[in-house]
Structure formats: C-alpha cells, structure tokens
Chain A
Amino acid sequence: MTFPVLTTLIILPLAGAIATTLVSGKRVESVRIIGQITALATLGVTLWMLADFGTGRAGYQFLSDHSWSSDLGIRWIVGVDGISLFMVVLNAILTPIALLASQRVEVRAKAFTAWILVLEAALMGAFLSLDLVLFFVFFELSLVPMYFLIAGWGHGRRQYAAMKFFIYTMAGSAFLLVGILTVAYLHRDATGLLTFDIRVLQRWAPAGLAPATAAWLFAAFTIAFAVKVPLFPLHTWLPDAHTEAPTAGSVILAGLMLKLGTYGFLRFVLPLFPDPTVRYAWVLLTLSVIGIIYGAIVAAMQPDLKRLIAYSSIAHLGFVVLGIFALTQQGLDGAIFTMLSHGLTTGVLFLIVGFLYERRHTRLIADFGGLWKAAPVMGGLFVMTAFASVGLPGFSGFVGEFLALLGAFLTHRWFAVVAASGVILAAVYLLWAVQRVFTGVPEGENATIRDLSVRELTCVVPLLGLSLFLGFYPRPVLDRIGPSVKAVVTHIERSTGYEAPSPSAPEAEESPAGPESEEAE
C-alpha cells in the first residue's frame, strides 16, 4: 500500500490544531511554533505531492478510497487532479503565511492558531474529496473556523459580519445537500447502487437524468456555489465578511474559500449536469459580467481599502466564472489559473493593508497619503501587486484573465467584449487607490510610518515572486491543469451536442494540426 499522502494533508493540520490546544495558553511562543511547524510540514508534503504529480495525466492521482459509513453509502475518497492540484498548493502556501502575518495577534493566540489549522484541514478536505457527501462535510465544516476567526478576532461589526457569512452560506448549502441526495438516490433507483462517488455519478448523470430534473439539480448546485463565489446578486455577505475579518482570515477567505464556489462548478456542476450547463451558460455568463463591471465600479467608490479589495474580488471571481462557462479549453484553463493567481495577489493586497492597519489603526484611504516617502519598500511592493492584480502582462493575473477572456471570446463574443472593459476599470480603482495612499506629500503620522519588517517581507515576497514567475512562465501550471480540463470539456461534448472550438493558443505546438484538419473537412 502506498503512503496516503492526501489523507495526510487533511489529518496533519488537524493534528497540529489539536496539539496547539494541549499547550498552555500562556506559552504563546510554543503555540506559534507548533502552528508554524505544522503548516510548514503540510507545505512540505504538498510540495512532495506536487513533485510526484504526473503531468499530462487527466485522471485522479494519489487516490485513496475507504468506506466510512456503509449504511449511508458515504466513502472517504480523496484524489487530486489538475483542477484541484493548485488549490491544494495554494492552501498549503497561504496557511503558513497567514500564521506568520498574525504574529501580532496577542489575544487568545492559541485558539487563533488552532482555528487557522482547522480551516486548512477543512479546505484541504473540500478540495480533495471525490465523494459528494465528504465534500459537503468539509464545505460546511470550513464555515466554523472562519466564523470564529471573524467573530473572535475581527474588526468593528465582526459579530454581524460573521453571522451573515455563516447564514448565507448555510442557506446556500441547503440547496446543495438536497441536490446531492437527489442525484444519489435517483442513481440508486436506476442502478440499485447507493453511492456519492463523483466518478460513478458523472458517468451516469448526463444520460440518466431527465432533462427537467437535471435543470432543477443544476439550479440547486448553482445557487449553493454562486453564494460562495459570490456571484451578483448573492454577494452581499462578502464585503462585510472580508472587511471585518482579521488579516489572516481575509487572506484565506479570498484566496481559498471563494474558490470553493468556482471549484464546485468545475468539479461537480459541469461533469454532472453538462446539458443544463450548456443550455443555461448564458445566465451565469450574464451574472459574471455584471459582477465584473459592478464589482469594479463599486470598488472604485469605496473609502475603505479593505472593502475596495473585497469588491475587487467580486470582479476577479467574475472572470473565473466567465472562463468556466465559456466552456472552452482556454476558458477553463484561464479560470483555474485566475483562481490561483487571485489567491496570490489578493493575498498580498490584504496582507499589506493589514500591515498598514497595524501601524495606523485605520483603513480609510482618506487617512493615508504620501506613504511612499517613509515606506518605499511597502509602496513599491503594493504598486507591483496592484499591477499584478490589474493583470499587467508579466504577472500571473494577465495570463489567467487573458485566457478566460479568450475562451469566452470564442464562444460568447459579446460577453467577452463587455467583460474586457472590467480590466480597464480594475486599473482605475486600484491605481487610483495607490495614488491616494502612496503618492503626494505625507502629513502627520504618515510621514513617519515604519517600512516593512523582515517578517512582513517574508510574508509578501514569496507570493509576489510566484505571481511574477507564473506571469513569465505559466507553462508548468498550464501543463498540469490542461489534461484535466480537456477531460471535462470532452465529457461535456460527448454527453451533449455541444462542440467546443478547437484549442489553439496555449498548445502552440499542436496548433498547426488544427487548421489543416478543418480544411480537410
């Protein structure tokens, strides 16, 4: 039997969380060290898994499959493929950074560390589960630590924000659970086997479900994931949750938890309900384009830096959904790439705003000005991140959004055209914010602000470096995403009459074959 590497990824942070609770609450340092060691160990295992990951293979790797409760039909099935791989990696990277960035958390540091680790475990579980109920378990479970992080260590109206976050997602997942059960029981009625295994269900569902039933189920799953993404008009929990969450919470919320929604579309909605997906793609595309434009405009109006970034997340996630429902190889590639890239850049933005808040205890743009003079390193990094986030070529944001737009352009031209203006709007709100915060003549406390410390640089630089690296050389990521995405697209094509445009740009070496074969027809 091979080493259950993926199960380890889920158990390890959980064990770390339990270990921290056993240490006395007064020994803050040892708690932090245990937390950090756990997070780094998880990162190590993840990198080992990444190195071992077979590039060019579409199926699930490192599978492990055990019975959990045979009477209920639930199994512990974990596996990773190109779609989930980089979410797992991102989770492993962001957690130690979130912990490092939270060194200043003095109040109940023990509980804080434990919750962050529980959150890591829950997210790992959600991204790795191939059993629908297991996914649901982790999906719901991730709410609890985030709820406590916001309610316990947040700012201002944290109680309200935490409650709103919890109730919104829980109401959304009401539809998800009923949907999951319905799919499983219809499958059982048809075949006699009660299972929640996505691999089994996705082979059966496209042909096995009646069209009307499939449409209803599509709606149920979509509502749950749309709340999580969040898609306009279900987004109202997000600005509150993001703004009031502690820095580490915001980083993980934006970097990973929102991705649970888009990941849910990719992993469950597209393969299970290809027919309604093709038929109702326009609904999701419309909402995503509205989200892109609306998010950007509202972001530009925000007086609060953190709220600005929160709204920018709505716009970025709009690009992800646009890419997904473009239903092309490029679109899906771009969506997954943007999921990764947004996690890196938005993470940095939230971190720097968090560092600013620690220094000045304000996040209002109006309170800042001319910070560059006193803190050139911080200013430089923030500007770079802003460019990365806007999608300047050379940064990862560009690759992802370009691919998503390209994919959408091939199938839904006008949606792409309107969405492209979102890129310009992004430049407006972020650069305007940079201008108001970092340029000008500093006054008062702004003139004497401390620059980033070594610890803070350690948090920020790796993320930004990765974004830059992937901007120049996206190949390693795209190569690993590609085959799995292709499998999804082929699955949709095979189970519906839909035909995706032939891939071109990312597989440059294959493109000569493309036009020729078309000519032959």
Chain B
Amino acid sequence: MSALAAARITTPGIDWLSIAPVAILGFTAVAIVLARALIRKRPAAYPVAMGLTVLGLALAAVALLAQWRRFRLEGPYQSLSGMVAVDGFAAFIGIVVVFATAMAVLLASRYLVRERLDGPEYLTLMLLSSAGMVAMASANDLITVFVALEIVSIPLYVLAAFDRRRNASLEAGLKYFLLGAFASAVFLYGVALTYGATGSTNLTLIGRFLAENTLLHEGALLAGLALMLVGLGFKVAAAPFQMWTPDVYEGAPTPVTAFMASATKAAAFAALLRLLYTGLGSSSADWRPIVWVLAVLSLLVGSIGAVVQTDVKRMLAYSSINHAGFILIGVEAAGDRGLAASLTYLAIYAFLALGSFAIVGLVTGRGDSDSALSRFRGLTQRRPALAYAFVLLLLAQAGVPLTAGFVAKFRVFAAAVAGDSYLLALIGMLTAAIAAFVYLRIVLTMFLPVEEGEAAPPAPLRADPGTSVVIVVACALTVVVGVAPAALVHVAERATLLFRG
C-alpha cells in the first residue's frame, strides 16, 4: 500500500488561497468579455461590466486580506512548488495594486463615456493588467516574474493607445510597446544568464546557491543581474531607462496614466525588490552600487527634466521619475528598513499620483489633449476647491511636513542614513528642493489671476462622482497619513517582517 503510494506521481498541491487574488481578477476580466458578447444591447454592457469589475476588485481585496490574516497566524509560505511566495510583502503590494486599480476605474467611469471609448474592453484590459501586477508581487521564480511582467505589459500597451482617434495616444501606445517589448526581451536574456550562472530560476534557490557557493566566474551572474535591472528599471521608469515616460504619460488617456504611475510602479518595484532581496540578497555588495547610480540618475533626471517642461502631465511624468529615484534610495539601503521604506513610499506615492492625475484630467477637459501649464491659470479663483486640493497634493509630492509625502521621504532617508548612504540621502534631499520648484511653479500658476482682455483658459470640467471620490480619498489619505503615520508605517514594517518564503 505504502509502496503504491510512493510510486504514484506526486503533483504539487495547489493552495488555492495563494492564487485566489490573481485568479479572481483574471476570471472577472474573462467574465466581462463573455458578458459583452452575450448582452445584445450595447449600452447595457457597460454598467454590467462596471458592476463585475467592482465585484472582482472587492473579492480580490477580500482574498488578499484573507492571505494576510492567514500568514499572520501561520507565517509566510510558498506554494506551487515555490513559484509563488505568499507573504506580507506580496499582500501589501497586492492591496496597493487593487486599491490603485479601483481608483483608476473610478477615474475612468465617466471618462470612457465622455470620450466615447469602449468601456467593457477598457475594464477587461485594466483587470488583466492588475491581475499580472498582483501575480508579480508574489512571483518567487524568474519565470513567474517574466510571465507576470508580460501580463501586466501587454494590456498596458493597448490601454496607452486606447484613445485611437487621438494621435498622441497612438504614439504613446506604439512607443511604449516598442520599448517595452525590447525591455522584456532584455529582461528575459538576463533571466537566462542568471539561470546559467546559478542553475535555477527559483529566487529562493538562487539565494541559497549564492549564499553557499562562491562563484569563480561572476561574469554571467553580473551580466544577468544588469540585464534584469534594465528590464525592471524600464517598468519603474528609472533613469537612464526613462525615455518613454514623458511621452507615454502625456499621450495616454489620463486615467491610464494615473494607473501606470501608481499601480505599475508598485508592481514593478515589487518584482525588483524580491529579485534583489530574496535572490541576490547575499550579493548586495554587487548590486548596491548599480542601484546607487540608478537612484542618483533618476533623482537628477526627474527633477531637472521637470524644470523645463511646460505641460503639467509631462511635469508629473518627470516627477514620477524623480519619485522612482526616491524609492530606489530605499532599495539601495538594503535590509528590512530599506524594504519597509520602499513599501511605504510606494503606497503613499500611489494615492498622490492618482489624486494629482485625477485633477489634471479634469482641467485637461474633453478631448484629453491639452494639459499645458497655462490651462491651470487662475484656477484658485475659478475652482477654489479643486485648486486647493491640487495644492495639497503637490505640496505632499514636494515632501512638506504633515503631509504623507514627508512621511514617505523621511522613511527612505532614514533607511539610507541607517545604511550609511549619507551622500545618496543628501542628493535626494537636494533634488527634492529642485522638484519643489516645479510643484511650486504649478501652484503659482494656479494663483495667477487671468488678466482682463486676456483669453481665459477653457473651464475645467465639473467633477463627476468617480473623480470626486478619487480626489477626496487622495487628499484625505495625504493628511491622515501625514499627521498620524503610525498605522501605515506599522503595516509596512509588519509586511517586511512577513517577507521571505
């Protein structure tokens, strides 16, 4: 009997909870496609799709919280023969991604109708992409990372070009696709080299291998590491792989831009952190200098590049590169403190970016084509509530105390200083001052009254319920996290403690 049992081929047991969030999001996307096909009346398809999306996101969030609860009791674990790590880190990023997706869906709810875009299709793509992001956060194998990366990217290429009547959007999609496909290929090549050097694609095994063995010829591993950093650096919009960012952020429909800045960044950083901390944790001496350079370049390019822009969406794109630099400061710090700092920053930047792009979307107005700085002129007089909300979010991005942005920056600087990276922290702070110039330029423009005899810029749109919710939530979180950071910081610490499979 026992001999029979031993002879039986053992298939890996499937822990359904570990893949539940990804599966829910994926199946919801499929369900929307089906519903779209089955519902005859075109206009009815959109509300149904919207309902399904909300349901799917809610269920995914519940699944993530269930995961969190489970390993708080039982500790982090791996499933699917080590392909997926279920730990606090994955759940934290997963929740950030689901939150950002929900906000981006709210932003799009009226936008799609207004711009006469195909709603169900858009929601399907968004859900697929966010399924990929959640998978990416828990991917513990380079193959899983790659597959997740593609699931994230391909819908995003389409989403960037979604407004196909607008040339800028098409251009954004094409540019993102060409460079993104290239970056994926580079990443895959890096995976191959790493496999060659270490004999495994599993991050835990790679980590164990590197901890126990000294490589005589490090070349393949280093080249693999460098190529993987290029691939992921592209996704997180870190310099010098940032070239696509301003064009794509400017051209893509604004809700998509908000989604890319918040959710994509979080997911790609999740993959980067897990790769560096789990897989290459023991060779941090090799990658810390590389990350240092990436951080400094991102900080400088992001802040200085933003100064010369005249378009608010482009400014925010550069600021997003700058923020990637700040998160890289946390990554560079290595260790639990750096990890917790990066997580905190990602969560905070997610809602700052969502809120900011929501406001930009309203000011840009119908057609979504002109987000020039001059359109913000006199906004404090015409739309005080909207303008002051933007002021708050911009000050938070600049890192003014008692806003969430300060908490985020404080954490990464503390991590950097604790890791003896004084110079990096100082460079970060100085670029924060340069970036503050950019944010204040937008603020000043909003305060500038429109002179008599001058053509007033077109009026911003009235905020639809979805956008209002996003703006209110973003502002509320900015203040609450800024004044009482303890809760978020604590959760991020805890997520870090539950890291490692």
Contacts and interface: CB of A to CB of B under 8 A. Distances in A.
Interface in B389-425: 395, 400-402, 406, 410-411, 413-414, 417-418, 422, 425
A175 interface: yes
A62 interface: no
Interface string A108-146: 000000000000000000000000010011101101100
B432 interface: yes
Interface in B421-441: 422, 425-426, 429-430, 432-434, 436-437, 440-441
Count chain B CB atoms within 10 A of each CB in A68, A70, A144, A173 and give the residue with the most. A144
A182 B447 CA distance: 38
B332 interface: no
Contacts, number: 82
B447 A151 contact: yes
B489 interface: yes
Contact of A170 (B432, B444, B448): B432
A167 B422 contact: no
Interface in A184-216: 185, 188
Given A144-B395, A166-B440, A178-B425, A137 B406 contact: yes
Contact of A181 (B425, B432, B485): B425
A517 interface: no
Given A72-B485, A147-B440, A151-B444, A181 B417 contact: yes
Contact of B437 (A70, A163, A178): A163
A177 B486 contact: no
Contacts of B484: 69
Nearest to A176: B429
Nearest to B425: A178
Interface residues of B, number: 32
B444 A163 contact: yes
B437 A167 contact: yes
B426 A72 contact: no
A173 B430 CA distance: 9
B337 to A, nearest CB: 10
Given A72-B411, A170-B433, A178-B429, A138 B401 contact: yes
B250 interface: no
A177 B429 contact: yes
A163 B440 contact: yes
A8 interface: no
B432 A174 contact: yes
B418 A71 contact: no
B149 to A, nearest CB: 32
B488 to A, nearest CB: 10
A140 B403 CA distance: 12
Interface residues of A, number: 32
B400 A141 contact: yes
Contacts of B69: none
Given A72-B411, A72-B489, A147-B440, A174 B433 contact: yes
B437 A69 contact: no
Contact of A72 (B414, B425, B441): B414
A185 B419 CA distance: 9
A182 B422 contact: yes
A111 to B, nearest CB: 9
Contacts of A167: 433-434, 436-437, 440
A71 B490 contact: yes
A41 to B, nearest CB: 23
Contact of A171 (B430, B486, B490): B430
Report whether over half of chain B's contact residues are helix, strand or loop; otherwise say mixed. helix
Contacts of A70: 486
B206 to A, nearest CB: 31
A413 B444 CA distance: 48
Interface string A9-35: 000000000000000000000000000
Contacts of B437: 163, 167
Given A170-B432, A177-B429, A137 B444 contact: no
A69 B436 CA distance: 26
A71 B487 CA distance: 10
Contacts of B430: 171, 174
A170 B429 CA distance: 9
A376 interface: no
Given A170-B433, A178-B429, A182-B417, A152 B401 contact: no
Contact of A141 (B402, B444, B489): B402
B141 interface: no
Q: Which of A69, A136, A141, A188 has the most CB of B within 10 A?
A: A69
Contacts of A141: 400-402
Nearest to B443: A151
B489 A69 contact: yes
Contacts of B406: 137, 140
A170 B432 CA distance: 8
A144 B443 CA distance: 12
Contacts of B436: 166-167, 170
Nearest to A189: B418
A134 B38 CA distance: 60
A69 B406 CA distance: 13
A95 B158 CA distance: 57
B413 A177 contact: yes
B350 to A, nearest CB: 20
Nearest to B436: A170
B87 interface: no
A439 interface: no
Given A144-B395, A181-B417, A71 B422 contact: no
Contacts of A147: 440
B67 to A, nearest CB: 23
A411 interface: no
A141 B426 CA distance: 20
Nearest to B494: A71
Contacts of A171: 430, 433
Nearest to B423: A178
A174 B448 CA distance: 29
17 contacts: A68-B486, A69-B489, A72-B411, A72-B485, A136-B401, A140-B401, A163-B437, A163-B440, A167-B440, A171-B430, A174-B429, A178-B422, A178-B425, A178-B426, A181-B413, A181-B417, A182-B422
Interface of A: 68-72, 133, 136-138, 140-141, 143-144, 147, 151-152, 159, 162-163, 166-167, 170-171, 173-175, 177-178, 181-182, 185, 188
Given A162-B444, A185-B418, 5 more contacts: A141-B401, A144-B400, A174-B430, A177-B413, A177-B429
Nearest 4 CB-CB pairings of A with B: A174-B429, A137-B401, A181-B417, A171-B433
